[in-house]
Structure 1
Amino acid sequence: MRGRSRNWRTWFARVVRPHRRWSTERDLAHAIYGTVVGAAAMATASAHSTLGGVVVTVLVTVAVYWVAERYAEALAVAIRGPRRRGRVLRAIRQGWPTVEAAYTPLVVLVVFVLGTGQLRTGVLLALGVSTAMLSVLGHVAARRAGAALPTAIACAVGSAALGVSVMLLKTFLH
């Protein structure tokens, strides 16, 4: 039983609390962006798709946004001065939290739907997880940037409002 407990904590740390790996405010900003993009893709895809369709739509959408952003950043750093290759490679690696942040709500969606067969409820649950993640990410980003607690709470509420907006989008789409 002790091994199971350790496995659960490892999984939780990797999937549910990835913000510990994201060391900078910029990483957290990318994660907020990825969470919103993934949630919006999930909300819109769920209107006319299956579980597989929703998962593919979210993964492709987030990947396209990440590639577009990284491409633009790589162009910006490639134009300036020497050692371009190193700067371009660093620019491409940055922003990966945009993609990573989409995983947790997708895992929740897939596990729930495979267990219950209820896509609509699973999407709502996953969007709720996205909203909670946004709140935590906003709070952590503000605190890491040196914000006082009241400001960090306001950032958490503001980030959660993005998730609520996506949930409202889903409600109006269906």
Structure 2
Amino acid sequence: MAADSTAETGAPRRWRGTRESVLFGGVYGAVLASSLVAALTQHGHGSAASRRYDALWVLVTAFASALAHGYAHHIAERGPRRRGEVLRALRDEWPLVVAVLPTVLLLAGAGWGWWPPGEVEYPALYVNIAILFALGLITARGASRRWPAAILTGVADALLGFAVVIANALIK
């Protein structure tokens, strides 16, 4: 965690650095997108019109989640008030929204007739698993792990993410 002490530097304390923000948002966004697609598919969403709606719904949910996370960080880190603190806290949640964009594109594409609307949930799951694998691999390599260990870390992260998505789908 990157944290500057307000007393030492006069700068506001940061809960997460940029790297942690990107990783957290990427993982959260990929799992959120997969869980939403699984839940929507489970409830019979399979027509072109419903997939266009699903794409919009996933995007709105990602923005709502990003706003909630940014606001929660702002509250948790509350100190002396500085102009723009809330906006900076919200801005720092961009990786979450970016991580759902591939799923939004898949759903919207199904709604626009690019591929069968009833068969988009597995490609969306595969894309999000690939995102989780890539984030695990990048993190492991950033921690100076050798390629075999980094690949295993990526696989483990992807499998863990898959397990979370399955658990979420079963709960809903």
Q: What is the aligned counterpart of 1:127 among 125, 137, 140?
A: 125
Residue identity in the other structure for 1:85:
R
- 1:75 matches 2:70: no
1:38 Cα deviation from its structure 2 partner: 1.2
Of stretches 45-54 and 31-40 in structure 1, the one that deviates more from structure 2 is 45-54
Residue identity in the other structure for 1:156:
G
1:166 Cα deviation from its structure 2 partner: 5.9
Q: Quick check: 2:56–2:104 contact (8 Å CA) kept in 1?
A: no
1:128 Cα deviation from its structure 2 partner: 0.9
Residue identity in the other structure for 1:108:
L
Question: Residue 115 of structure 1 corresponds to which residue in structure 2?
Answer: 114
Deviation string, structure 1 residues 36-58 (Cα, Å, up to 9, x no partner): 11110111112322212321221
Residue identity in the other structure for 1:46:
T
Question: Residue 19 of structure 2 corresponds to which residue in structure 1?
Answer: 24
Q: Structure 2-normalised TM-score?
A: 0.71
1:169 Cα deviation from its structure 2 partner: 5.6
The change in CA–CA distance for 1:171 and 1:60 in structure 2 (over 3 A counts) is closer
Gaps of 5+ in 2: 1-17
Percent of aligned positions with the same letter in both sequences? Answer: 31
Using the alignment, how far apart are the partners of 1:123 and 1:169 within structure 2? 16
The change in CA–CA distance for 1:109 and 1:56 in structure 2 (over 3 A counts) is closer
Of stretches 49-58 and 142-151 in structure 1, the one that deviates more from structure 2 is 142-151
Higher share of residues assigned helix: 1
Matches within 5 A, 1:83-122: 84-112=82-110, 114-116=113-115, 118-122=116-120
Number of corresponding residues? 148
Secondary structure in 2 matching 1:72? helix
Q: Structure 1-normalised TM-score?
A: 0.71
The change in CA–CA distance for 1:107 and 1:24 in structure 2 (over 3 A counts) is same
Secondary structure in 1 matching 2:93? coil
Of stretches 83-92 and 31-40 in structure 1, the one that deviates more from structure 2 is 83-92
Using the alignment, how far apart are the partners of 1:90 and 1:171 within structure 2? 33
1:151 Cα deviation from its structure 2 partner: 4.1
Gaps of 5+ in 1: 1-22
The change in CA–CA distance for 1:171 and 1:33 in structure 2 (over 3 A counts) is closer
Q: What is the aligned counterpart of 1:43 among 38, 42, 57?
A: 38
Q: Quick check: 1:38–1:61 contact (8 Å CA) kept in 2?
A: no
1:162 Cα deviation from its structure 2 partner: 3.9
Q: Quick check: 1:55–1:106 contact (8 Å CA) kept in 2?
A: yes
Q: Quick check: 2:33–2:58 contact (8 Å CA) kept in 1?
A: yes
The change in CA–CA distance for 1:60 and 1:105 in structure 2 (over 3 A counts) is same
1:133 Cα deviation from its structure 2 partner: 1.3
Using the alignment, how far apart are the partners of 1:172 and 1:90 within structure 2? 36
